[in-house]
């Protein structure tokens, strides 16, 4: 519909003022509620060709469009804004178009479409996933779905931090205090088991530091001289030297963690096309840095360390290899990028990483560009804020994080209890009750997190996330189930559910609802341009809110006029369809029964 209006405005400008306009210069938006109209043309950009005042230009354009564009039945000019009233037949035709497209709002992906790689999750193998990881995974997965809906080819990747001193801490603690404990013998998921030993290391390490300080050592010296830390550092040295015994233990414990991660990912509903491991990428990174050194991109200091001088780019100098030849995180990221670029013809790279790493990705972008990666300078750091709880921040070492598995289980149990109390599970089998509770619990979690602008820090309150009223996932899910119930009853009664022929007179709520549906493709596009799942989430809420007002004010199944009833059923079906499509972009399932 908007494209027809844009074409009409271009023709009007040519006819009235003899000027050629590009569609990028035409701004159309939904008319504000306080004014009469469906779409509003912003006239100010056109004044340079009309050479007239805003209200005069708006009036001339309105008259021309009303006379020459059948879809425009009336207009009103308010300053530099032209509010256009569109015919009811226009919205009926729009509804027919929406109804004919099962994937309305989604762009088909061509074989030669640009390839976007999205990295998210990036866990450490010394602890289970927690609430912060949940936000990262949900944002990454949703962004991937949004980019696919915009016609891009997408590769979802994960980089697992499976090496370093933090891994050795868990390994050492298991050797000292584990007594051979395994996931099978303990009944714990592998990532939980290893996480317990990471916490155990920290507990015993602090006791050693405290004892050394009691003997007169200052805190820094005590931390350095603590026997546990020395043993962990020695284990890391052996790992990097390829010690067979250490490597064997490392592989065994990491495999426990990977199996645990897979269970969490599956329940959370996220996946990856390719997983990379730092134990593979860090050596490639060192080679790439050496190559950059030979080409004069980097330089070596007297102590043997390798640096990049980025002062000419407005940044500082960045360490890439330590004096002892060991790598830093930047080196590993360069190595990972090298492997990825060899595996895929990447056009754009998006890193989903918290905002505390903003500077890191500024530097990485420059370094990759200097090393010759085509997408280096245009890489996107999808920077998001931290998740906090009403109780405050989380700390992994102290074991005070909100575990992802525990949180998901709590959400599903809460959803089951609330749904049962409200009668939402009545008439469902035990299996259906469990499936619906899973959808509502995880849907509430996902929606609560994704509806927030990703750039902002957020406070997650589980109790507020499952509410069948307000801006929640369960409110949207319940509306979808309500619509499916209406459609089932219509089918049982043998009612027509296809668009009637001939003209229909729409009421204001019906035309507003169709307009809201028609905006979905632009919303999907906006979410892709802004890298923001919250755009989708809040659209879904507004659509559902509008539909519920319509449902409250007008009868559907009991409407006496067959053609009006059929149109309302088609309208309901398409609201349900778009709800399902929108929520799928957030990784949220919607039930047919509640």
> Is residue 544 a part of any domain in this protein?
yes
What is the distance between the alpha carbons of residues 458 and 325, in angstroms, rounded to a whole number? 40
Q: Please state, as a whole number, how many other Cβ atoms lie within 10 Å of the Cβ of residue 573.
A: 19
Q: What is the 3-state secondary structure (H, E, C) of 484-506?
A: HHHHHHHHHCCCCCCCCCCCCCC
What is the distance between the alpha carbons of residues 160 and 165, in angstroms, rounded to a whole number? 15
What pLDDT is recorded for position 391? 64
Task: Encode pLDDT of 35-45 as tens digits.
Answer: 888 899 999 99
What pLDDT is recorded for position 23? 85
Strand partners, 442: none
Helices (H) and strands (E) in the chain, counts: 22, 14
> Is residue 40 a part of any domain in this protein?
yes
CB-based burial label for 244 (10 Å; 0-12, 13-18, 19+): exposed
What pLDDT is recorded for position 400? 53
Q: Residues 554-576: what's their mean pLDDT?
A: 96
Please, which residues have CB within 8 angstroms of residue 415's CB and are 6 or more apart in sequence?
437, 438, 440, 441, 444, 466, 474
> Is residue 206 a part of any domain in this protein?
no
Task: Encode pLDDT of 65-112 as tens digits.
Answer: 999 998 899 999 988 899 998 888 889 999 999 999 999 999 999 999
Tokens of residue 59, six digits = 């009036």
> Is residue 211 a part of any domain in this protein?
no
Q: Is residue 332 left, alpha or beta, with left meaning phi > 0 and alpha meaning psi from -120 to 50?
A: alpha
Task: Check if the beta carbon of residue 2 is closer than 8 Å to that of residue 515.
Answer: no
What pLDDT is recorded for position 104? 97
What is the distance between the alpha carbons of residues 38 and 63, in angstroms, rounded to a whole number? 16
Write the CATH number for 44. 3.30.1360.70
Q: Please state, as a whole number, how many other Cβ atoms lie within 10 Å of the Cβ of residue 359.
A: 12
> Is residue 82 a part of any domain in this protein?
yes
**Residue at token pair 């210069």:** 25
Tokens of residue 295, six digits = 């080409």
Poorest-confidence range of 245-254, 276-285, 320-329, 353-362?
A: 320-329
Q: Of 28, 52, 86, which closes a domain? A: 86
Decide if pLDDT at 405 tops 80: yes
Q: Please state, as a whole number, how many other Cβ atoms lie within 10 Å of the Cβ of residue 147.
A: 23
Task: Encode pLDDT of 466-513 as tens digits.
Answer: 777 889 999 999 999 999 999 999 999 999 989 888 778 899 899 999
Task: Give, in degrees to the nearest 5, the angle at Cα 309 between 306 and 313.
Answer: 150
What pLDDT is recorded for position 508? 86
Q: Residues 324-347: what's their mean pLDDT?
A: 93
Q: What is the pTM of this model?
A: 0.90
Tokens of residue 212, six digits = 């050394």
Decide if pLDDT at 398 tops 80: no
Domain count of the fold of the chain:
2
Q: Of 39, 65, 86, which closes a domain? A: 86
Task: Encode pLDDT of 425-475 as tens digits.
Answer: 888 899 999 999 999 999 999 999 999 999 999 888 777 777 778 899 999
> Is residue 127 a part of any domain in this protein?
no
> Is residue 566 a part of any domain in this protein?
yes
Q: Of 29, 54, 86, which closes a domain? A: 86
Write the CATH number for 443. 1.10.730.10
What is the distance between the alpha carbons of residues 169 and 183, in angstroms, rounded to a whole number? 18
For 17, the domain range is 2-86
> Is residue 329 a part of any domain in this protein?
no
């Amino acid at each position: 519909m908007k494209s027809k209006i844009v074409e009409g405005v271009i023709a009007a400008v040519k006819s009235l003022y003899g000027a050629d306009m590009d569609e990028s210069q035409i701004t159309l938006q939904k008319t504000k509620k306080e004014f009469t109209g469906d779409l509003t043309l912003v006239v100010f950009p056109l004044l340079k060709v009309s050479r007239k005042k805003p209200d005069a230009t708006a009036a001339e354009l309105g008259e021309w469009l009303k006379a020459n564009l059948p879809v425009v039945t009336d207009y009103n000019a308010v300053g530099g804004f032209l509010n256009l009233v569109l015919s009811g037949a226009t919205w009926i035709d729009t509804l027919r178009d929406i109804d004919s497209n099962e994937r309305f709002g989604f762009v088909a992906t061509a074989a030669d479409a640009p390839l976007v790689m999205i990295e998210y999750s990036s866990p450490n193998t010394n602890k289970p996933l927690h609430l912060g990881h949940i936000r990262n995974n949900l944002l990454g997965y949703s962004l991937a779905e949004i980019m696919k809906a915009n016609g891009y080819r997408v590769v979802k990747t994960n980089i697992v931090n499976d090496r370093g001193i933090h891994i050795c801490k868990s390994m050492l603690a298991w050797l000292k205090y584990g007594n051979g404990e395994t996931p099978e013998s303990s009944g714990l998921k592998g990532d939980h088991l290893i996480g317990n030993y990471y916490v155990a290391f920290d507990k015993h390490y602090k006791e050693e530091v405290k004892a050394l300080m009691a003997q007169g050592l200052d805190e820094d010296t005590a931390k350095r001289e603590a026997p546990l830390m020395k043993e962990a550092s020695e284990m890391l040295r052996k790992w990097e030297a390829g010690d067979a015994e250490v490597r064997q233990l490392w592989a065994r414990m990491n495999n426990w963690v990977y199996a645990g991660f897979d269970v969490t990912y599956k329940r959370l509903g996220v996946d990856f096309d390719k997983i990379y491991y730092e134990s593979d990428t860090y050596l490639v990174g060192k080679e790439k840095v050496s190559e950059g050194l030979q080409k004069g991109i980097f330089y070596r200091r007297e102590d043997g360390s390798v640096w990049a001088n980025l002062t000419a780019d407005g940044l500082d100098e960045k360490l890439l290899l330590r004096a002892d030849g060991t790598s830093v995180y930047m080196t590993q990221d360069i190595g990972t990028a090298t492997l990825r670029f060899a595996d895929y013809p990447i056009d754009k790279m998006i890193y989903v990483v918290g905002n505390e790493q903003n500077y890191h990705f500024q530097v990485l972008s420059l370094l990759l560009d200097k090393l010759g990666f085509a997408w280096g300078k245009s890489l996107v750091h999808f920077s998001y804020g931290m998740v906090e709880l009403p109780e405050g921040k989380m700390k992994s070492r102290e074991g005070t994080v909100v575990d992802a598995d525990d949180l998901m289980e709590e959400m599903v149990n809460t959803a089951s209890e609330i749904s049962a109390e409200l009668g939402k599970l009545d008439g469902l089998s035990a299996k259906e009750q469990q499936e619906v509770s899973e959808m509502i619990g995880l849907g509430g979690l996902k929606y609560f997190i994704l509806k927030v602008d990703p750039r902002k820090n957020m406070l997650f309150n589980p109790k507020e996330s499952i509410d069948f009223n307000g801006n929640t996932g369960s409110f949207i899910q319940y509306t979808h189930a309500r619509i499916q119930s209406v459609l089932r009853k219509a089918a049982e009664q043998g009612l027509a559910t296809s668009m009637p022929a001939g003209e229909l007179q729409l009421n204001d709520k019906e035309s507003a609802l169709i307009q809201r549906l028609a905006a979905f493709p632009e919303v999907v596009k906006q979410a892709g341009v802004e890298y923001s799942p919250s755009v989708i989430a809040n659209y879904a809420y507004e659509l559902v809110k509008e539909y519920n007002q319509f449902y409250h004010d007008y009868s559907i199944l009991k409407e006496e006029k067959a053609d009006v009833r059929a149109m309302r059923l088609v309208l309901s079906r398409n609201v349900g369809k778009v709800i399902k499509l929108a929520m799928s972009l957030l990784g949220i399932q919607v039930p047919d029964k509640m």
